[in-house]
Amino acid sequence: MSQTFNLTDLVSRHREVLSASVPRGVHLSFDLSSEELLIAADPSQIEQILTNLVVNAGEAIPPETDGRVEIATGTGELTPEVARAHAPSYDARPGPFVFLEVSDNGSGMDEATLSQIFNPFFSTKFTGRGLGLAAVQGIVRSCGGFIDVASSPGVGSRFRVCLPAAGPRSFVVPAASNLGAPVRRDREPSAILVVDDEAMVRELACAALRERGYELLEAKDGREALDVLADAARLPSLVLLDLSLPVLGAEELVPILNKKYPNVRIIISSGYTEEDARMRLPPGVAIGFLQKPYTLATLAQRVEETLRSGGGPIEEAPAAA
**Can you give the residue range of the structural domain that contains 108?**
3-164
Are 8 and 37 within 8 A, CB to CB? yes
pLDDT, residue 188, reads 64
293 found inside a domain: yes
195: part of which helix (H) or strand (E)? strand 191-195
**Pure H helices in 160-273:** 199-211, 222-231, 250-260
Are 204 and 20 within 8 A, CB to CB? yes
Higher pLDDT pick, 171 / 100: 100
Instruction: Say what the pTM is.
Output: 0.60
d(CA 63, CA 59): 9
Same domain membership, residue 201 and residue 146: no
Same domain membership, residue 224 and residue 152: no
pLDDT, residue 275, reads 87
d(CA 290, CA 240): 9
Mean pLDDT for the stretch of residues 298-314:
75
Mean pLDDT for the stretch of residues 189-200:
87
Q: Check pLDDT > 80 for residue 312.
A: no
What is the CATH classification number for the domain harbouring 293? 3.40.50.2300
60 found inside a domain: yes
CB-count burial class (<10 Å; 0-12, 13-18, 19+) for 184: exposed
Q: What would the pLDDT profile of 39-77 be if each residue is shown by its tens digit?
A: 999 888 898 899 889 988 998 898 878 899 999 999 998
The total of structural domains in the chain comes to 2
Higher pLDDT pick, 321 / 233: 233
Same domain membership, residue 242 and residue 110: no
Same domain membership, residue 28 and residue 118: yes
d(CA 173, CA 285): 40
pLDDT, residue 311, reads 47
Tell me the residue length of the chain: 321
Stretch among 117-121, 142-146, 241-245 having the lowest mean pLDDT = 117-121
Mean pLDDT for the stretch of residues 189-202:
86
Same domain membership, residue 204 and residue 146: no
Which of 145, 164, 183 corresponds to the end of one domain? 164
pLDDT, residue 167, reads 63
182 found inside a domain: no
What is the CATH classification number for the domain harbouring 158? 3.30.565.10
183 found inside a domain: no
171 found inside a domain: no
Q: What would the pLDDT profile of 256-290 be if each residue is shown by its tens digit?
A: 999 999 999 999 998 788 888 888 888 878 888 98
d(CA 243, CA 250): 5
Closest by CA position to 97, among listed 178, 19, 38: 38
170 found inside a domain: no
319 found inside a domain: no
Same domain membership, residue 125 and residue 7: yes
Same domain membership, residue 98 and residue 25: yes
What is the number of H-type helices and E-type strands within the chain?
11, 12
Same domain membership, residue 133 and residue 17: yes
Which of 149, 164, 179 corresponds to the end of one domain? 164
Same domain membership, residue 152 and residue 200: no
135 found inside a domain: yes
What one-character DSSP code corresponds to residue 313?
-
Same domain membership, residue 108 and residue 23: yes
